[in-house]
């Protein structure tokens, strides 16, 4: 068990210490779950109020919060401080350096120093894995793939052939990289092509064969990317699908073929990005948003939760709704609907008078 003094913790989080008594800290928790060896995390108003009932001797609080009977560490950005604390107490899943006896590593694969290959992992022909990378049980690395330094792949990761992964990449359970894109074509124009071109389905759609379009591109995952559990990223049809440096992707995200995702993006759970989209740098896409194919989103934009994005938007856009529109337009639409509701209520109130007026014949 890791244990730290209150002074050591204050130094790590760059905080302001108001010490009432010494404390040895071996855990962190919300105030109501904290004991005397736990640092109580009071990041918001409700948690600060709960400090009156805590058993903890010390608490992490926002700057300006000072309590008489409790040792406090004040910080300007509590969530940033919490991140640093979690790194102090976090323990990585247990791995052993070397190749597990039950792993299968092709004779042409090249492994760097201190690489860890877990049980039932398959490393295929021509794979290159750089120093200090760890791959946990039941993962598959396809032929010709290249993986950088200091990566960590949790159990059950599936990497297809010829995938390029940079340094310090984290892949969580069930990540799939490099499946074929969802690309098909029919011999004659189908309903979708008619609807896109004409805005309507004009001809009877006859039965016809659907031909698969193979994907011969790859996937590039740049440095410092983290990808959540059961997320899937398809390989490009001809060009590579690319995920830029420092981008963080949540669980159960789908990114289609040929997409180009910029640097430092945050993509939240259950987002779906159709093929050939271009996303700029530092874009935030909130949960369950969906992006149509072949659109671009400018850098520093925010897409709201459950937005249905059907067209491109420039940089620094705040996009909400379905079909998605700029935030100001969305608010205007809400105001219009509210005003319309008031007008309907007024109309219903005066409708009997209007009807009586019409029946009297005075409106002729």
Residues with a known catalytic role:
257
Beta-strand ranges (E) seen in 63-151 are 71-75, 98-99, 104-105, 110-111, 116-117, 122-123, 128-129, 134-135, 140-141, 146-147
Instruction: Give the tokens for residue 250.
Output: 């949540």
3-state SS, residue 161:
coil
Query: How far is 262 from 76, CA to CA, in rounded Å?
Result: 29
- How many residues are there in the chain? 364
Task: Tell me how far apart the alpha carbons of residues 117 and 99 are, in angstroms, rounded to a whole number.
Answer: 5
- Two structure tokens written together for 173: 């359970």
Residues 6+ apart with CB under 8 A from 152: 92, 133, 134, 169, 170, 171
Query: How many Å apart are CA 291 and CA 287, to the nearest integer?
Result: 12
The tokens for 198 are 């004409």
**How does strand 27-29 pair with strand 38-41?**
parallel
Element (H, E) at 186: strand 184-186
Instruction: With beta carbons less than 8 A apart as the criterion, state whether 324 and 310 touch.
Output: yes
List, in sequence order, the alpha helices (H) in the chain. Answer: 6-13, 45-50, 78-89, 191-198, 327-359
**Pairing mode, if any, of strands 146-147 and 128-129?**
parallel
């Amino acid at each position: 068990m890791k244990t730290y003094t209150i002074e050591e913790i204050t130094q790590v989080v760059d905080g302001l210490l108001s010490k009432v008594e010494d404390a040895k800290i071996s855990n962190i928790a919300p105030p109501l779950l904290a004991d005397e060896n736990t640092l109580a995390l009071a990041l918001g108003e409700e948690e600060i109020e709960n400090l009156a009932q805590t058993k903890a001797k010390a608490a992490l609080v926002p700057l300006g919060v000072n309590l008489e009977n409790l040792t406090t560490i004040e910080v300007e950005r509590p969530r940033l401080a919490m991140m640093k604390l979690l790194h102090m107490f976090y323990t990585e899943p247990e791995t052993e350096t070397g190749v597990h006896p039950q792993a299968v590593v092709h004779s042409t694969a090249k492994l760097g120093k201190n690489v860890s290959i877990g049980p039932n992992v398959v490393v295929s022909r021509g794979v290159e894995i750089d120093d200090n990378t760890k791959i946990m049980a039941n993962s598959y690395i396809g032929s010709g793939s290249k993986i950088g330094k200091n990566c960590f792949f949790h159990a059950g990761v599936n990497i297809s052939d010829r995938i390029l992964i940079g340094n310090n990449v984290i892949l969580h359970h069930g990540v799939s990289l490099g499946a074929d894109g969802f690309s098909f074509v029919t011999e004659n124009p189908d309903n979708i092509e008619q609807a896109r071109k004409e805005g309507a389905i004009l001809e009877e759609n006859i039965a016809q064969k659907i031909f698969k379009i193979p994907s011969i591109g790859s996937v590039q995952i740049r440095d410092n990317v983290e990808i959540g559990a059961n997320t899937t990223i398809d390989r490009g049809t001809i060009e590579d699908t690319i995920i830029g440096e420092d981008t963080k992707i949540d669980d159960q995200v789908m990114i289609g073929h040929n997409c180009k995702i910029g640097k430092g993006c945050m993509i939240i759970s259950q987002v779906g990005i159709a093929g050939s989209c271009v996303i700029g740098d530092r874009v935030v896409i909130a949960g369950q948003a969906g992006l149509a194919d072949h659109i671009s989103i400018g850098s520093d934009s925010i897409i709201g939760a459950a937005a249905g994005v059907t067209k491109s938007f420039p940089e620094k856009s705040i996009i909400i709704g379905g079909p998605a529109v700029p935030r100001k337009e969305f608010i205007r639409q809400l105001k219009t609907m509210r005003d319309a509701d008031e007008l309907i209520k007024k109309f219903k109130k005066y409708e009997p008078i209007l009807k009586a007026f019409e029946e009297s014949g005075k409106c002729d």
